[in-house]
Structure 1
């Protein structure tokens, strides 16, 4: 193996499980044991044509030209360890990982992203287990000559790495084959909403669903709103999680009216980057492919035909994916549907508290009531009333939870009396979930009602600080909001979840729609949306500044948490005709969206441009550039460049530096292969940077200048230029900027056939992964 250059190799990491404990227990005896271990390992690796290039305490790392040879060595080593007794120490158990890729070979050692990924892969295994990456599996081509086989363990997330890994386990005679779950970041990928408390009264339905999904690839649940369809689907997914190594995923399609929009929502849940929304369906089908996964598509009633079309496509194209669909109305699907009925309520003939308490509806009511008021019990005095409440609510779970949430302030007789009065006043509604929501809302005092209504402006959750800033008025002080939110949680009108060290609140979709209607009735929609916009515009300003600094990763997470609220703020401002405000938010969000392939930001920019007409304002050049970027990611470089040139002209007419559109013009020229024009654009951009306060722009242009130098036959100048860019980038401490310069350095070095290319590219990708910069990682 040649030193001082990037090489394609397969690596095997091995580590003795529990070695620290063995050293503490057996002391000096471990020195001889470790020497014997190293001798066995050396024989296994050498006999397979590999090279041990590093010892890591009680482990080792070996490199191979042949991926099958690497696995042969691992199998031989495991067999040797399994058959060797080490006196008082006993048998050693080693975990091993095998991964292939390009690494930098220097002075007898290997470095880079591939080596690091192999170490992470090995760390998820157990003693006696050999795990192999998808990259290695794809290189294997001699199945007849093997003494071993591979079994797929599914797609798993490795610690500190942004892209999941397809993992396989080696099986062979003489090796253990049964192991605990892999020690991955999330052992089974999932995206399931958290639910409150145990499921009640759904065991038979859950069993039926599991049997259906064992034999068929589709199960649909049909029932009225609030009956618990989503909860049953989530419970079954949790129970079946172990059978889906590629994960279980929950996607709400409520209010979506096209199959493309539904596919885009699924793509977001699966973390699939969609450049062109019209391509969402084929990209989702391709990404799911042969994955062993379960997908819950929740709320298909808004557009049942579109949902059915998408489900049929998934069934046809994804043979190992199981689907669960929920809807308020029956769907025209090839497989029969399960009806989710309300919970069984007590018979009117039942009088004993013990018998009444056996009813699933009463069990749910009591569980929720005792969560609010732990001292509440079912007694001879109140059992009949509780049973009547459950009957009046038809056993609908959401209605029962809302009613039980009143127990802290009302006794069962009061709840029943108020419920009867409410239904009598609105007989056409009947005792539906909507009626109970209305009744729960009307049981609030005026201040709680206004707060609840104002919460409808939040999308996908909010924290206390946001509610204090947006939902206060003369009657509701900021110091009261936290207490009032707790009251709404206790009444089941608001859900909570812990996000890291903080609590976030959210309204369920049905409650949010109801609250939005009340907000309009109060005449508070426009002012509350304006406060919501102002709050998130301020957030975006702070977050965008943070994104440019050393703490980029922290602010990326903040942007991701609040992106749905930024989206809601943009569309509320646009709907109100405040397009200059909307344009400001687009520009502040762009730096995050650009690096994380949130392509919808281009649609925002197009909406703002259309709304502003001839008066594009101070952010006009940026808006035109973002629109052009949108065309570029869809492959229309000509239109992209046209918008960029319009943006340059507008910036100059405003007396501003057109750095942002110049950057798009440079990229467009490179993509067209017109390196001469790219060099011209770089020089124009550099000339325009005299008054740009952001030093990152100058660093960025140094990188592009170095690239054009390298492509035009000036290697020495290119290396000097990119080295200077790297020095300046590292001084900023910004991971994305450093990664971008390293990436350009790697591309330049690769074109010069330099051994330094692999190291630069590996470091670039590692940094970019830390801040989820998919523009660089691809």
Structure 2
């Protein structure tokens, strides 16, 4: 910072002083956007902040760039200055899209002077408090809050944000927010250490050693956009990256995220995996995931840990593109080799430090022995290095080349054998240990795995090999389906593999038992599977297992437990991908058709529409296959087209599916295919043209479908027919009142069937058609009830439509600001989910549309952008706050 020329030691207050720090959030992007206008904008900002400070009796101590450091003898004067500055900034006439968002922090403490500047911890505390805030937010310490709480202006309220640990400060600080009437009071969580967003997996063992390596990675991350930790399998690359991520995550505004690439073989899936790790509700719908990822990353400051990149080197250009669009982010990659992109700094990870044979008395000072002891104590708490076993321990870790994974595997043997006997039975450097064409250290790892493997009974060895087919782990249920023909007690075999360190039990949604292997161990398992000659048969069993599983899940994803079933599918999405890829390559057309058809509701509900479309188009193009399986996949493909807003495109696959069903299908399937064609044809006619021929065909189809469903007593099918007929009556005959009655009846049918998904869509239509008839209150009632059905399941495609309706109803209540925020949320979530059906005429209230909102207006543009930044939960919470109409309507 530069000291203000007019500031002198005599003028700076001393004793109890309140410090104010300010900073423009996102100033780098603002500078780029403003271009030549930036100096003028900065001068206007500086004048507003300086006037507020000096006008309230404060002194500007320093300025740096767009930040101010000021001191006040009175705490209430400092608060008054902050309020005045925020009001001045909010009320200033800024150029479109260039309004600065200023964060402010206040703290009262001891004003110690050192020359013409303040020194001491309280200055640093004030700066850290400001750094935890967001643009437009004013936060203050508990000490400042205690001094001003009874003197605040009537239009300013203190809001307790709780205690937070701030970077570089050892003690937690109580933080309060100033809620200023007329200004935004809703902000994301403070950027405290507790609030650092992350998805880092919990570690069940201690991190041992690697101090130099950790320091080196942290140092490289400060100067390089991409740091790739390279080394052979088992050197501890992943564990090191996770440890560094936990240590430096607080330095990244938007957090640290771990991207597990071990289950992925297709470079095209990498963007989807990154989006998922970032906490997105979905893949980006009908846009390429890469495009959506680049757009999302442009606003973030994160540390991304990309783990196990070696099998995905063709995806390296994606990382290079991310560096370009997200210059404030950093990328920590683990791989057996470098990515070879310009922004990359490679850091080879060597094995752990080894003890000196000449001085075994200091063996425990080395990382390799410390790790061995830690892991040995986990299975035998009384284990220690003694003068009697020190030489054996030293020789053992030396023989394991100091490779962490090998050390951990062998340490588990301490439960059964003393170290000298372990050493006598394991000579990993001996020729023939591991595959001879592997690098020496990789041979050591395979040797350690082989040794653990050789201790297994043959049936458990078979179990180990079969587990290699699972990508990203598997629930016990799927493992049983793939391995039920092995002559082994499955639970006992799994327990033995866990004990040997070859398998890990991990947390799963719903508390189910789930298991996975480390990437390097899975590779060994797959090699053994292929060597056994049973690889193709086991892969087919894996495919069959996930077909049966997906069809079971599909039967539940429309009911009241939708969220739990969708979460289960999400956990095994990598296995579904692997199975579909294998099926396509090996000509398993029927199984591919069944698996893709069973998966489509997951792809739609969680927004993977782009991927779903690609996979369904692939499977329906495969040669052969049973016609009925093809019909179900065609119906799924038509459904994806529908949700992507390409209604005309969905009709041909629907018609082909109906033709197959009429020839071969059961009555319920025929009726469902009839419903699909009827609704697709009716809605497509809205844009292609309504004719008597279309009207006659659509109503004849609905009559036929209704007759079949009534004969079957199928309430869900009757709900579909009634709902679809409601759309037809509106679109083909413009009879809104009859449509409304039909939608009410559809809800009754869906409720009788236990179909929450259908109930929600009936409520959506009742809300729309009530609004069309001017009954806004009823529209709000049904909107809220339907939204509360869909939101808990994170059904982003559905929520987008409800938010669009909420925006239109806010517009009807003349609440333009609320409508603008909601319209922004719709646009942002539509882009991330691909649910372009929200743009179709059938989802709109005629004469009332959010398209009437002008997001470029100076007063609405910031609100629209704020809405675009909302995540799903924030947007739903905001939408459920019903506005009060200004006209009493």
Q: TM-score, normalised by structure 1?
A: 0.72
Is this contact kept in 2: 1:95–1:130, CA < 8 A?
no
> Partner residue of 1:280?
289
Provide structure 2 residue ranges, at least 5 long, that are not aligned to the other structure.
Answer: 1-82, 88-135, 152-156, 163-172, 801-889
Find the aligned partners of 2:372 and 2:161 in 1 and give their Cα distance: 51
Aligned equivalent of 1:368: 375
Indicate if the aligned counterparts of 1:210 and 1:236 stay in contact, CA closer than 8 A.
Answer: yes
Q: Deviations over 1:409-447 (max 9, x none)?
A: 333334333432773224554342233323332232312
Match of 1:26?
A: none
TM-aligned CA distance change 1:536 to 1:598, over 3 Å = same
State the alpha-carbon separation in 1 of the partners of residues 283 and 137 from structure 2.
37
- Cα 1:740/1:257, change in 2 over 3 Å: same
Is 1:336 aligned with 2:402?
Answer: no
User: Partners in 2 of 1:652 and 1:166 — Cα distance?
Assistant: 56
Question: Which sits farther off after the overlay, 237-246 or 360-369?
Answer: 237-246
In the alignment, the residues of structure 2 paired with residue 482 and residue 281 of structure 1 have an alpha-carbon distance, to the nearest angstrom, of: 41
- 2:428 matched to 1:411? no
Note if 1:740 corresponds to 2:757: no
Tell me the residue number matched to 1:701: 721
2:199 pairs with one of 191, 199, 203: 191
User: Do residues 559 (structure 1) and 533 (structure 2) align?
Assistant: no
Q: Indicate how the Cα distance of structure 1 residues 372 and 703 shifts in structure 2: closer, same or farther if over 3 A, else same.
A: same
Distance 1:360 1:683, change over 3 A: farther
Report what 1:17 is aligned to: none
Q: Give the superposition deviation at 1:358.
A: 1.1
For residues 224 and 187 of structure 2, the distance between their equivalents in structure 1, rounded to whole angstroms, comes to: 25
Per the TM alignment, residue 94 of structure 1 is displaced from its structure 2 partner at its CA by 4.7
Residue range with higher mean Cα deviation, 294-303 or 214-223: 214-223
- Distance (Å, rounded) in 1 between the aligned partners of 2:137 and 2:198: 30
Is the Cα contact below 8 Å between 2:149 and 2:158 reproduced in 1? no
DSSP-derived class of the 1:220 partner: strand
**How is 1:330-479 mapped onto 2 (pairs within 5 angstroms)?**
330-332=338-340, 333-352=342-361, 355-420=362-427, 423-426=430-433, 429=438, 430-432=440-442, 433-473=445-485, 475-476=487-488
The reply on whether 1:129 has 2:177 as its aligned counterpart is: yes
Q: Distance in 1 between matches of 2:486 and 2:644?
A: 49
Tell me how far apart the structure 2 counterparts of residues 349 and 356 of structure 1 sit (CA, whole Å): 10
- How far apart, CA to CA, are the structure 2 residues paired with 1:254 and 1:127? 41
Stretch deviating more after TM superposition (442-451 or 682-691)? 682-691
The total of aligned residue pairs comes to 628
Counterpart check, 1:759 vs 2:776:
no
Cα shift readout 1:85-141 (whole Å, capped 9, x = no counterpart): 9xxxxxx975489xxxxxxxxxxxxxxxxxxxxxxxxxxx98843689xxxxxxxxx
Deviation at 1:366, TM superposition (A): 1.6
Q: Is the 8 A contact 2:304 2:332 kept in 1?
A: yes
Aligned 1:575-594 pairs, distance under 5 A:
575-594=585-604
Aligned residue number for residue 497 of structure 2: 488
Task: Specify the SS of the correspondent of 2:371.
Answer: helix
Q: Hey, what does 2:559 align to over in structure 1?
A: 549
Match in the other structure for 2:627:
617
- Given the superposition, is the C-alpha separation of residues 667 and 213 from structure 1 closer, same or farther in structure 2, using an over 3 Å criterion? farther
Give secondary structure in 2 for the equivalent of 1:621: helix
Cα distance in 1 between the residues matched to 2:538 and 2:268: 31
Change (3 A) 1:769 1:303: same
Asked if the contact 1:735–1:771 (Cα under 8 Å) also holds between the matched residues in 2, the reply is no
Q: Does the 8 Å contact 2:465/2:526 carry over to 1?
A: yes
Preserved contact between residue 352 and residue 368 of structure 2 (Cα < 8 Å): yes
- RMSD of the TM alignment (CA)? 3.8
The structure-2 alpha-carbon separation of the partners of 1:126 and 1:584, relative to structure 1 and needing over 3 Å to count, comes to: farther
What corresponds to 2:790 in structure 1? 768
Instruction: Pick closer, same or farther for the CA change 1:661–1:310 going to 2, 3 Å.
Output: farther
Query: 1:149, CA displacement in angstroms?
Result: 8.9
Q: Write the distance in 2 (CA, Å) between the matches of 1:257 and 1:578.
A: 19
1:777: which partner in 2? 799
> Is 1:290–2:299 an aligned residue pair?
yes
Note the residue ranges of structure 1 that are not aligned, 5 or more in a row.
Answer: 1-43, 49-69, 86-91, 98-124, 133-145, 151-164, 170-178
Aligned partner of 1:313 in structure 2 is 321
Q: Do the aligned partners of 1:392 and 1:431 also contact (CA within 8 Å) in 2?
A: no
Distance 1:297 1:80, change over 3 A: closer
The separation in 1 between residues aligned to 2:688 and 2:197, in whole angstroms, is: 44
Alpha-carbon contact 1:382-1:412 (below 8 Å) kept: yes
Change (3 A) 1:474 1:288: closer
Q: Is the 8 A contact 2:226 2:343 kept in 1?
A: no
Cα 1:356/1:205, change in 2 over 3 Å: same
TM-score (norm 2): 0.64
- 1:258 is displaced (CA, Å) by 6.7
Aligned 8 A contact 1:740 1:764 in 2: yes
Per-residue deviation, residues 474-499 of structure 1 (Å, max 9, x unmatched): 631xxx32232222122211112233
